[in-house]
């Protein structure tokens, strides 16, 4: 249907073969592939403490639960994110305090606004590496360390992205990754949690599987025949089919991210002269802070433009676009909830109606970028 879709899978016959082998093996969940997926993810990210889970929403819920975030606590999180970042904290019974972005050039959460929104009830700061670009982690980690707050990194956009030489997701207390179909590493539904220390890692491992002390595989192998339950946990396990696909996808990730970077650079070059169009993160690489995973290609439309009309006009040319995101405080539940604080979000509000996400995925040709830019220019006339 789309000439140029917003995102596309980078799947080959290897993913199908990996899935087939699991089905043929007769062992479907929490086996050797999952252990290998966790090991190889950890090697790629520079940490031994990775757990693969059902999805990133489960990862966030595990993170907040393992950090003992609960009723009476406040979690500061950006309003400009996917709603799961906030919902997982709300599901723990905590309140969410929404924070503003830095500005038009940086759609990530503003450390100064985090400081303004800290209260005696604040327990954790959740940050999102928007579009794959790192937040100001030096500032955020310093704020958290000074006040004894936990940091949860929602790194759903940012697998293999880095900040000052370290992988995103490994800088806070817990990092969360998504392997949803449209993410840089896709398995359908999947995710991972990365723990700063062994205690959090052990707690999340327990909470991932009912709080049970032994694993299915160990019982199957005869290593254990009974178990105790030492915490009230969930079932957030991933299955072997997804882990096997994930292993193949992990092998494609670095090259995919590099291709995304080249395509994003071409977009920036082409759109630099376009009147009124804002290009967030335009100067990111000039600052030498690290590497983006380039999950999304966000632009800001000229003020006063009808985004809906632009999206329609681009659709007519076969170009799929999207919006990231409707800010959380605009949703009916969160707008009405007295467990969601939403003051001081003027910079988020200023760009919320202007942000447009252009197609970006490793299978795009350079000519596709040019075609999208032409469609955008024509749609703005």
Total length of the chain: 381
Q: For the segment 61-120, give every residue that binds ligand PLP (CB under 6 A).
A: 81-82, 84-85
Per CB under 6 A, 7 contacts ligand PLP: no
Helix, strand or coil, per DSSP, at residue 305:
coil
Smallest distance, ligand PLP to C-beta of residue 82, A: 4
Closest alpha carbon to 231 in 206, 195, 204, 200: 206
Residue 84 or 140: the one with the smaller Cβ distance to ligand PLP is 84
Beta strand 122-128 pairing with 150-154: parallel
Q: For the segment 185-214, give every residue that binds ligand PLP (CB under 6 A).
A: 191
Per CB under 6 A, 128 contacts ligand PLP: yes
Structure tokens at 5: 């879709």
Contact 95, 115 (CB under 8 A): no
Q: For the segment 248-307, give every residue that binds ligand PLP (CB under 6 A).
A: none
Helices 307-316, 366-380: inter-axial angle, 10-degree rounding: 130
Please indicate whether residue 117 is annotated as part of the active site: no
Pick from 178, 249, 257, 292 the residue near ligand PLP by CB under 6 A.
178
Per CB under 6 A, 11 contacts ligand PLP: no
Separation of alpha carbons 34 and 240, rounded Å:
6
Smallest distance, ligand PLP to C-beta of residue 129, A: 8
Which residue number is nearest to ligand PLP in terms of Cβ? Answer: 56
Residue 84 or 364: the one with the smaller Cβ distance to ligand PLP is 84
Pick from 11, 27, 180, 331 the residue near ligand PLP by CB under 6 A.
180
Closest alpha carbon to 149 in 108, 114, 195, 177: 114
Per CB under 6 A, 55 contacts ligand PLP: yes
Q: For the segment 139-168, give every residue that binds ligand PLP (CB under 6 A).
A: 154, 156-157
Per CB under 6 A, 173 contacts ligand PLP: no
Closest alpha carbon to 154 in 99, 88, 247: 88
Q: What is the dihedral of CA 267, 270, 276, 279, to 10 degrees?
A: 30
Residue 161 or 376: the one with the smaller Cβ distance to ligand PLP is 161
| Burial group, residue 119, by CB count within 10 angstroms (0-12, 13-18, 19+) | exposed
Q: Which of 183, 221, 315, 342 is catalytic?
A: 183
Residue 316 CB partners (closer than 8 Å, separation 6+): none
Total site size for ligand PLP, rule CB under 6 A: 14
> Which residues are identified as catalytic?
183
Given the rule CB under 6 A, which residues bind ligand PLP? 55-57, 81-82, 84-85, 128, 154, 156-157, 178, 180, 191
């Amino acid at each position: 249907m789309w000439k140029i879709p917003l995102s596309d899978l980078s799947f080959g016959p290897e993913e199908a073969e990996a899935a087939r082998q699991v089905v043929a093996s007769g062992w479907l969940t929490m086996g050797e592939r999952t252990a290998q997926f966790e090991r190889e993810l950890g090697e790629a990210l520079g940490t031994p403490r990775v757990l693969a889970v059902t999805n990133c929403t489960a990862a966030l819920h595990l993170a907040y639960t393992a950090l003992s975030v609960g009723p009476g606590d406040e979690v500061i999180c950006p309003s400009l994110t996917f709603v799961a970042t906030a919902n997982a904290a709300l599901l723990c019974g905590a309140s969410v305090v929404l924070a503003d972005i830095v500005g038009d050039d940086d759609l990530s959460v503003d450390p100064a606004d985090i400081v303004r929104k800290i209260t005696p009830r604040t327990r954790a700061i959740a940050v999102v590496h928007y579009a794959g670009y790192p937040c100001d982690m030096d500032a955020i980690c310093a704020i958290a360390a000074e006040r004894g707050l936990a940091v949860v990194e929602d790194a759903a956009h940012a697998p293999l992205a880095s900040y000052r030489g370290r992988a995103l997701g490994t800088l806070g207390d817990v990092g969360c990754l998504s392997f949803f179909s449209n993410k840089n590493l896709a398995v359908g539904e999947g995710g991972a949690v990365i723990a700063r220390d062994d205690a959090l890692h052990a707690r999340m491992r327990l909470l991932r599987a009912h709080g049970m002390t032994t694993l299915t595989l160990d019982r199957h192998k005869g290593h254990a025949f009974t178990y105790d339950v030492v915490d009230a946990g969930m079932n957030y396990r991933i299955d072997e089919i997804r882990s096997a696909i994930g292993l193949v996808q992990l092998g494609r990730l670095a090259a995919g991210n590099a291709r995304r970077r080249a395509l994003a650079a071409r977009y920036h070059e082409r759109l630099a002269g376009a009147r009124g169009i804002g290009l967030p993160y335009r100067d990111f690489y000039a600052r030498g802070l690290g590497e983006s995973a380039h999950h999304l290609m966000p632009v800001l439309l000229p003020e006063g433009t009808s985004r809906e009309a632009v999206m329609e006009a681009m659709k007519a040319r076969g170009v799929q676009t999207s919006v990231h995101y409707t800010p959380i405080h605009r949703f009916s539940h969160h707008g009405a909830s007295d467990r969601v604080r939403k003051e001081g979000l003027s910079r988020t509000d200023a760009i919320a109606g202007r942000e447009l996400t252009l197609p970006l995925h490793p299978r795009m040709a350079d000519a596709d970028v040019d075609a999208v830019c032409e469609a955008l220019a024509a749609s703005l006339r």
